[in-house]
Amino acid sequence: MAKRVQLVLKQDISKLGRTGDVVEVAPGYARNYLIPSGLALRTTPGILKQVERRKEEERQRLLELKKVAEAQKVEIEKIGKITISKQVGENDAIFGTVTEREIAAALQEALGQDVDRREITLPAIHKLGSYQAEIKLHPEVSVEIEVQVVAN
Protein backbone atom coordinates (compact mmCIF):
# COMPACT_ATOMS: atom_id res chain seq x y z
CA MET A 1 0.00 0.00 0.00
CA ALA A 2 1.30 3.45 -0.91
CA LYS A 3 2.47 5.92 1.69
CA ARG A 4 -0.06 8.59 2.67
CA VAL A 5 0.72 12.34 2.66
CA GLN A 6 -0.43 14.70 5.40
CA LEU A 7 -1.93 18.02 4.27
CA VAL A 8 -3.73 20.99 5.84
CA LEU A 9 -6.85 22.02 3.92
CA LYS A 10 -7.19 25.68 2.90
CA GLN A 11 -10.85 25.25 1.81
CA ASP A 12 -13.75 22.95 2.57
CA ILE A 13 -13.66 19.89 0.32
CA SER A 14 -16.66 17.59 0.31
CA LYS A 15 -15.95 14.04 1.48
CA LEU A 16 -12.48 15.07 2.65
CA GLY A 17 -12.67 17.76 5.33
CA ARG A 18 -13.19 21.33 6.38
CA THR A 19 -10.85 24.33 6.28
CA GLY A 20 -7.95 23.86 8.70
CA ASP A 21 -8.33 20.08 9.01
CA VAL A 22 -5.23 17.92 8.84
CA VAL A 23 -5.95 15.05 6.43
CA GLU A 24 -4.03 12.13 4.98
CA VAL A 25 -4.41 11.54 1.25
CA ALA A 26 -2.72 9.58 -1.49
CA PRO A 27 0.49 11.20 -2.76
CA GLY A 28 -0.84 11.54 -6.32
CA TYR A 29 -4.03 13.26 -5.18
CA ALA A 30 -1.95 15.73 -3.17
CA ARG A 31 0.74 16.29 -5.84
CA ASN A 32 -1.57 16.45 -8.88
CA TYR A 33 -4.70 18.16 -7.58
CA LEU A 34 -4.85 19.54 -4.02
CA ILE A 35 -1.54 21.41 -3.84
CA PRO A 36 -1.49 22.86 -7.42
CA SER A 37 -5.13 23.98 -7.06
CA GLY A 38 -4.29 25.83 -3.85
CA LEU A 39 -6.74 23.72 -1.84
CA ALA A 40 -4.15 22.35 0.60
CA LEU A 41 -0.66 22.83 2.04
CA ARG A 42 1.95 20.28 3.06
CA THR A 43 2.21 20.04 6.83
CA THR A 44 5.20 21.50 8.61
CA PRO A 45 5.69 22.03 12.34
CA GLY A 46 4.95 25.76 11.90
CA ILE A 47 1.74 25.15 9.98
CA LEU A 48 0.61 22.57 12.55
CA LYS A 49 1.12 25.18 15.31
CA GLN A 50 -0.97 27.69 13.33
CA VAL A 51 -3.72 25.10 12.87
CA GLU A 52 -3.77 24.34 16.61
CA ARG A 53 -3.86 28.06 17.46
CA ARG A 54 -6.79 28.65 15.06
CA LYS A 55 -8.69 25.68 16.47
CA GLU A 56 -8.20 27.00 20.00
CA GLU A 57 -9.42 30.46 18.96
CA GLU A 58 -12.47 28.90 17.30
CA ARG A 59 -13.17 26.80 20.41
CA GLN A 60 -13.00 29.95 22.57
CA ARG A 61 -15.34 31.80 20.21
CA LEU A 62 -17.87 28.95 20.30
CA LEU A 63 -17.64 28.81 24.09
CA GLU A 64 -18.37 32.56 24.25
CA LEU A 65 -21.40 32.13 21.95
CA LYS A 66 -22.69 29.38 24.22
CA LYS A 67 -22.32 31.63 27.29
CA VAL A 68 -24.31 34.38 25.53
CA ALA A 69 -27.02 31.84 24.64
CA GLU A 70 -27.16 30.63 28.27
CA ALA A 71 -27.63 34.21 29.47
CA GLN A 72 -30.37 34.77 26.89
CA LYS A 73 -32.06 31.54 28.03
CA VAL A 74 -32.18 32.84 31.62
CA GLU A 75 -33.74 36.12 30.40
CA ILE A 76 -36.39 34.26 28.38
CA GLU A 77 -37.18 31.96 31.32
CA LYS A 78 -37.74 35.05 33.49
CA ILE A 79 -40.45 36.21 31.07
CA GLY A 80 -42.11 32.78 31.16
CA LYS A 81 -45.12 33.64 28.99
CA ILE A 82 -45.87 35.71 25.90
CA THR A 83 -49.36 36.93 25.09
CA ILE A 84 -50.42 37.33 21.46
CA SER A 85 -53.79 38.91 20.71
CA LYS A 86 -55.63 37.88 17.53
CA GLN A 87 -58.96 38.58 15.93
CA VAL A 88 -61.41 35.75 16.71
CA GLY A 89 -64.26 34.17 14.77
CA GLU A 90 -66.66 31.36 15.67
CA ASN A 91 -65.70 28.63 18.16
CA ASP A 92 -62.63 30.57 19.37
CA ALA A 93 -60.99 30.12 15.96
CA ILE A 94 -58.51 32.85 15.14
CA PHE A 95 -58.17 34.51 11.76
CA GLY A 96 -54.87 33.35 10.27
CA THR A 97 -52.33 31.77 12.56
CA VAL A 98 -49.65 32.78 15.03
CA THR A 99 -46.29 32.90 13.27
CA GLU A 100 -42.68 32.67 14.39
CA ARG A 101 -42.23 36.28 13.29
CA GLU A 102 -44.91 37.42 15.79
CA ILE A 103 -43.23 35.44 18.59
CA ALA A 104 -39.83 36.95 17.68
CA ALA A 105 -41.33 40.46 17.68
CA ALA A 106 -42.96 39.89 21.10
CA LEU A 107 -39.65 38.61 22.50
CA GLN A 108 -37.84 41.60 20.98
CA GLU A 109 -40.29 43.91 22.72
CA ALA A 110 -40.05 42.09 26.06
CA LEU A 111 -36.28 41.47 26.11
CA GLY A 112 -34.83 44.20 23.96
CA GLN A 113 -32.75 41.45 22.28
CA ASP A 114 -33.13 39.89 18.86
CA VAL A 115 -34.26 36.28 18.61
CA ASP A 116 -33.92 34.65 15.21
CA ARG A 117 -37.42 33.69 14.03
CA ARG A 118 -36.00 30.71 12.11
CA GLU A 119 -34.94 29.13 15.40
CA ILE A 120 -38.47 29.19 16.85
CA THR A 121 -40.55 26.01 16.61
CA LEU A 122 -44.30 26.39 17.01
CA PRO A 123 -47.18 23.94 16.87
CA ALA A 124 -50.06 24.75 14.52
CA ILE A 125 -52.05 27.47 16.30
CA HIS A 126 -55.57 28.02 15.00
CA LYS A 127 -57.58 28.54 18.20
CA LEU A 128 -57.35 30.57 21.39
CA GLY A 129 -55.42 28.95 24.20
CA SER A 130 -52.00 28.21 25.59
CA TYR A 131 -49.22 26.61 23.52
CA GLN A 132 -45.55 25.75 24.00
CA ALA A 133 -42.93 27.18 21.64
CA GLU A 134 -39.34 25.99 21.56
CA ILE A 135 -36.54 28.45 20.85
CA LYS A 136 -33.14 27.09 19.85
CA LEU A 137 -30.59 29.70 20.90
CA HIS A 138 -27.49 27.55 20.27
CA PRO A 139 -26.94 23.96 19.11
CA GLU A 140 -26.66 22.95 22.79
CA VAL A 141 -29.05 25.52 24.34
CA SER A 142 -32.80 25.65 23.84
CA VAL A 143 -35.66 27.02 25.91
CA GLU A 144 -39.43 26.55 25.94
CA ILE A 145 -41.79 29.45 26.42
CA GLU A 146 -45.55 29.52 26.84
CA VAL A 147 -47.49 31.36 24.15
CA GLN A 148 -50.93 32.55 25.28
CA VAL A 149 -53.27 33.40 22.39
CA VAL A 150 -56.09 35.73 23.45
CA ALA A 151 -58.95 37.53 21.69
CA ASN A 152 -58.43 41.07 20.42
Q: What percent of the chain has pLDDT over 70?
A: 99
Going across the sheet that includes 120-121, the strands are 81-86, 141-151, 129-138, 120-121
**C-alpha to C-alpha distance for 113 and 61, rounded to whole angstroms:** 20
Domains of the chain by range and CATH? 5-63 (3.40.5.10), 66-151 (3.10.430.100)
Q: pLDDT tens for residues 62-91?
A: 999 999 999 999 999 998 899 999 999 888
When pLDDT is cut at 50, 70 and 90, the band that residue 106 belongs to is: very high
Local structure of 42: helix, strand or coil: strand
Rounded to the nearest integer, the mean pLDDT of the chain is 92
DSSP state for residue 3 in the 8-state scheme: P
pLDDT of residue 1: 59
